[in-house]
Amino acid sequence: MSKTSQTVKTNLHPANMHRHGYDFDKLCLVLPALKSLLITLDNGHKTLDFSDPESVKCLNQALLKEDYQIDFWDIPTGYLCPAIPGRVDYLHYIADLLGDIDEKIVGFDIGTGASCIYPLLGASHYGWYFKATDIDPVSIKTAQALAKSNKKVANKIKVVLQNQSSSIFKGIVKRRDYFHFSMCNPPFHSSLAEAEAGSLRKIKNLTGQKVEKARLNFGGQKAELWCEGGEVAFISKMIDESVEVKSCFGWFTTLVSKKDSLAPLKKQLKQVKASDVKVINMSQGQKVSRILCWRFN
């Protein structure tokens, strides 16, 4: 087998099937287009240029087809191309949080993006059902097409446009709805300049080379990457709205990129009288993040 590394990626969740790297020989069989993108290292191992969005997209297509039976997946140019191992890690930690539930599990994905990645992975791997939302019509149209084009998950994912761009749950969550969890990969940055700087740092970490300008579709769209006030403002809004729909959710969860963001958010959760607050640490390679979880009795 041809792997990126012989070392187990112990920072990934124990249930993550990507802990042992990628079997590129097997992946090239399911998606031959991947073969021309491979790079052979001095030690004979094969890898990819992970700073190249087309390479990452091709790898995703192969992984989704081979490991999750998602036969069709694509995103428009300029939209965020997610890394599969980190995305599925979030789902594994949610599974831990939920524990054993002997009923149909329904999740709520906030800002699903054009990739619809969390619902596709969650529906395929765990058999969960999802309502996925976004404020971007192009993302919604693409996500809807992805859900409908994959028979294994087509009846498990409902993609809905959030018409109220300043709202998260309002207008989408109905009084009689019940979701076992919500999840979100919020826009981390507070401005376009900060988002671009973050993309440049990411490319440097991946390649070891300093670049002056990030490739467009390596970064993502505005709503995917930044909002006024950054992740604290976005998650703070989520916390405020969660109080209004608390009877409709078992757990609320969100990724938090910056460690310093936790203190004000935990303070706010105390103020709104959340009955249970947890922080789950997770990491992938050099990227360290955490999942903030809360619920109300």
Asked, for residue 212, whether it belongs to a domain, the answer is no
Look at residues 153, 173, 157 and name the one whose alpha carbon lies nearest to residue 244: 173
Whether 287 shows a pLDDT value over 50: the answer reads yes
User: pLDDT class for 42, splitting at 50, 70, 90?
Assistant: confident
Does the residue 41 lie in any domain? no
The region of weakest confidence among 186-195, 205-214, 244-253 is 205-214
The answer, yes or no, to whether residue 282 has pLDDT greater than 50, is yes
Kindly report the CATH number assigned to the domain that includes residue 112. 3.40.50.150
Model pLDDT for residues 70-109, shown as the tens digit of each residue:
999 999 988 988 989 999 999 999 999 999 998 999 999 9
DSSP readout, 214-282? Answer: --HHHH--HHHHB-TTHHHHHHHHHHHHHHHTGGGEEEEEEEE--GGGHHHHHHHHHHTT-SEEEEEEE
146: pLDDT strictly greater than 90: yes
Whether the per-residue pLDDT at 1 is higher than 90: the answer is: no
Structural domain includes residue 51: no
* Choice between 194 and 24, residue whose per-residue pLDDT is larger: 24
Bridge partner list, 247: none
Instruction: Give residue 294's pLDDT.
Output: 98
**Residue 271, pLDDT above cutoff 80:** yes
In a domain, 164, yes or no: yes
> What was the pLDDT predicted at 204?
44
Lowest average pLDDT, out of 154-163, 212-221, 262-271, goes to 212-221
pLDDT band at 131 (very low <50, low <70, confident <90, very high): very high
Range of the domain at 131: 71-190+219-295
Q: Return the bridge partners of 256, or none.
A: 290
Q: Which of 148-162, 197-211, 212-226, 275-289 has the highest mean pLDDT?
A: 148-162
Assigned domain for 40 exists: no
Q: Is residue 201 part of a domain?
A: no
User: How does residue 200 score in pLDDT terms, banded at 50, 70 and 90?
Assistant: very low
**Count of domains observed in the chain:** 1
CA 13/CA 257 separation, integer angstroms: 18
Q: Rounded to whole angstroms, how far apart are CA atoms 17 and 141?
A: 30
> Is 42 among the domain residues?
no
- Whether the predicted pLDDT of 135 surpasses 80: yes
Question: In this predicted structure, what is the pLDDT of residue 226?
Answer: 46
Task: Outline where DSSP puts E strands in 83-128.
Answer: 106-110
pLDDT surpassing 50 at residue 143: yes
* 8 phi and psi angles, rounded to 5 deg: -70, 130
Q: Is residue 54 part of a domain?
A: no
Confidence of residue 7 (pLDDT cuts 50, 70, 90): low
- Does 217 score more than 90 pLDDT? no
